[in-house]
Amino acid sequence: MKGWLYLLPAVLFLGFFMIYPLIDVFVYSFEEGYNFASQTYFGTGTYNYKYVLRDPYFLQAVKNTFILVVITVPLSTGLALLISVGLSSIKPLRQLYQTVFFLPYVTNTLAVGLVFMILFKKTPYSDGFVNLLINWFGGKSVDFIDGPYWAKMFVLCLYTIWVVMPFKILILTSALASVNRQYYDAAKIDGTSGFRIFRKITLPMISPTIVYLIITGFIGAFKAYSDAVALFGTNLNGAQMNTIVGYVYDMLYGSSGGYPSYASAAAIILFIIVLTITCINLLVSKKHVHYIS
Amino acid sequence: MNQKTDLKKEKKPGDIKKTVGKGIIYLLLTLWALVVLFPFYWMILTSVKSYGTYNSEFIPKLFTLSPTIQNYVDAFTTVPLARYFLNTVIFTLITTGIMLVVTVLAAYAFARLNFRGKNLVFLLFLSLMMIPSELVIITNYVTVTSLDLRNTFTGLILPSVTSVFYIYLLKENFEQVPDQLYYAAKVDGTSDLKFLWKVMIPICKPTIVTITILKAIECWNSYVWPRLVTDNELYYLVSNGIQSIRENGFGRENIPAMMAAVVVISVPLIILFLVFRKTIMAGVSRGGTKG
């Protein structure tokens, strides 16, 4: 059949690199004592899951990832909303601002992360730019890259927010632009105050977009990895800054690697966490979102 | 914040409150613009400071009076930056090229051709969009390793090709092309492949350009897969190159040279963005995601 012929390349690629691996990852996660070199294993069971759930590095990674999610998703969404509302209420220079705000989207996470590292790092030669600012305001220098846990977490959250903002601003600005002008005009005739208009008209009208951003934000933040590598280097366990995805890759590759079974178990645990959170998000949002067709 | 300004404007002279509101908005926007731009400024600034100057500034200076291009020379001579660059260009071009062929053919099959099981397969494709890459990357890594494809372009490219979402996007666009064109072409005895090439692709060019650019950005910035399958410097892409420069390039302290390398690998995408600004932003708001 001609249709299948046209579809063949896509089916081959997807079958080989997505569907087969998807089945295989579950198989791996239940194979105990899998040996990478000889591709053999002792037996099947849930030992891999038990091992991963008891591994202090994994627990640290889960803790880091949750902190990152809880801090960055609300902050970035709120800030993006603020900026987008500001953007849509001005005319001159709007395009310029929009272009500037989108820049982080097209930059290499690893490369710009290095710049953030230098801005925050304290070395024997210099305390770095951010510490200079802190000193100006009378504070003491902190090493944000090799220093205390919360300082490192702060930079990681900041950089994550910096990276995810362009997408959120873009989506929110187009949502705001699509709100029907007539609602505003009607409200204005009634003499409604600006804040009330925002709360009673704008917010409900764009609530589906906000929910979409929160859900994709949660999913994205749970998969955080390269931001952390950019700031703290590849030895994330040593820096106490590993994420769940980082743990998966560390199990697979590098000095601590060679354990695809543990990696698979960890990846599946991550998938279950993300799925659960997404379902909760959808259930909660169903109550609060106004869908208008 | 101040939604008042969104209303039809009737400029009343002396409306101070409105002016103050505007002022606050511009202040906020400018503040965020500074946060966005400052890292870029800092990387360019640092990249033109000489090694000696940089290290003698205990309090970093916000400008330099004696810019140098020595760091850029170092970036290309002491580490194989040109090699990373070339690898990334090859990787991006081939991956995007194969992706385009696969995507166009599949989208055409879903949009225009009829065959048994089409709806079922399409549903399967859609459900694949929800699969996170972290789940499949493990097996892909094992597969590529056991096929002895580590440190080859084949191993880098093949698992990176497929993007279900782009097939979906293009299929939607193909379906908007009127049926009459197809029937007319069929009456004239035009083959499907010729029709696709001569009619469908030209009509849907904007969408094709969009997915090409989005895929190219994705390729240029990809880090995880290249890191897993390459440990030979000859096959590093720019992301991995930057990481290796950071960990053992230049000697850890030569930060100006590092920043020069960062500038070099950031510039192509920024130029691409400035040229295709509208296309990229429209494309991303139709369904790009990051992070």
Closest chain A C-alpha to B72 CA, distance in angstroms: 15
CB neighbour list of residue B127: distance below 8 Å, 6 or more residues apart: none
Quote the pLDDT of residue A191: 80
Tell me, yes or no, whether B172 and B57 share the same domain.
no
| Contacting residues of B for A36, CB less than 8 Å apart | 142
Separation of alpha carbons B151 and B232, rounded Å = 6
The enclosing domain of B195 has a CATH number of 1.10.3720.10
Separation of alpha carbons B105 and B193, rounded Å = 9
Quote the pLDDT of residue A200: 84
ipTM of the complex: 0.90
Separation of alpha carbons B163 and B172, rounded Å = 15
Total domains present in chain A: 1
The enclosing domain of A273 has a CATH number of 1.10.3720.10
Tell me, yes or no, whether B185 and B250 share the same domain.
yes
**pLDDT, tens only, A176-224:** 988 888 888 888 888 878 788 888 888 888 988 999 899 999 999 999 9
Examine residue A181 and state whether it is found in any structural domain, yes or no.
yes
Determine the residue among B135, B182, B217, B278 to mutate to test chain A binding: the one whose Cβ has the most chain A Cβ atoms within 10 Å. B135
Tell me, yes or no, whether B199 and B152 share the same domain.
yes
Phi/psi class of residue A258: alpha, beta or left (left: φ > 0; alpha: ψ in -120 to 50)? Answer: left
**pLDDT, tens only, A71-113:** 999 999 999 999 999 999 888 899 999 999 999 999 999 999 9
**pLDDT, tens only, A220-255:** 999 999 999 999 988 898 889 999 999 999 998 877
Alpha helix stretches (DSSP H) within A148-202: 149-177, 181-189, 194-197
Separation of alpha carbons A51 and A64, rounded Å = 19
Tell me, yes or no, whether B140 and B164 share the same domain.
yes
| Contacting residues of B for A2, CB less than 8 Å apart | 113, 115, 192
Q: What does each C-alpha distance from B4 to A177, B124, B286 come to in angstroms?
A: 15, 47, 29
Across the interface, which of A25, A100, A233 has its CB nearest the CB of B36? A100
Separation of alpha carbons A242 and B56, rounded Å = 34
Task: For residue A131, give the H/E element and its range.
Answer: helix A129-136
Q: What does each C-alpha distance from B289 to A139, B32, B149, B180, B218 come to in angstroms?
A: 38, 21, 29, 35, 10
Separation of alpha carbons B245 and B80, rounded Å = 10
Average model confidence (pLDDT) across chain A: 89
Q: Which residue of A has its CA nearest to B130?
A: A275
Cα separation of the two ends of chain A = 39
**What does R_g of chain A's alpha carbons equal in angstroms?**
23
**pLDDT, tens only, B205-250:** 989 998 999 999 999 999 999 999 998 889 999 998 888 888 876 6
Tell me, yes or no, whether B67 and B116 share the same domain.
no
Separation of alpha carbons A73 and B160, rounded Å = 28
Tally the C-alpha atoms within 13 A of residue B128's C-alpha that lie toward its C-beta: 27
Separation of alpha carbons A78 and B9, rounded Å = 27
Examine residue A9 and state whether it is found in any structural domain, yes or no.
no
User: For residue B252, how many other CB atoms are within 10 A of its CB?
Assistant: 12
Examine residue A32 and state whether it is found in any structural domain, yes or no.
no
Across the interface, which of A21, A167, A252 has its CB nearest the CB of B136? A21
Note whether B139 and A20 are within 8 A (CB): yes
Average pLDDT over residues A51-55: 94
Across the interface, which of B5, B33, B39 has its CB nearest the CB of A100? B33
State which residues form the domain around B65. 3-73
Tell me, yes or no, whether B221 and B128 share the same domain.
yes
Note whether B174 and A60 are within 8 A (CB): no
Examine residue A42 and state whether it is found in any structural domain, yes or no.
no
Q: Residue A206's closest CA among B238, B200, B3? A: B3
Total domains present in chain B: 2
**pLDDT, tens only, B35-79:** 999 999 999 999 998 888 888 888 888 888 888 888 899 888 888
CB neighbour list of residue A137: distance below 8 Å, 6 or more residues apart: none
**Which residue, of B18, B38, B73, is where some domain finishes?**
B73
State which residues form the domain around A144. 50-288
Examine residue B290 and state whether it is found in any structural domain, yes or no.
no
Average model confidence (pLDDT) across chain B: 87
**Which residue, of B73, B104, B135, is where some domain finishes?**
B73
CB contact under 8 A, B138 and A119: no
CB contact under 8 A, B247 and A233: yes
Separation of alpha carbons A57 and B167, rounded Å = 39
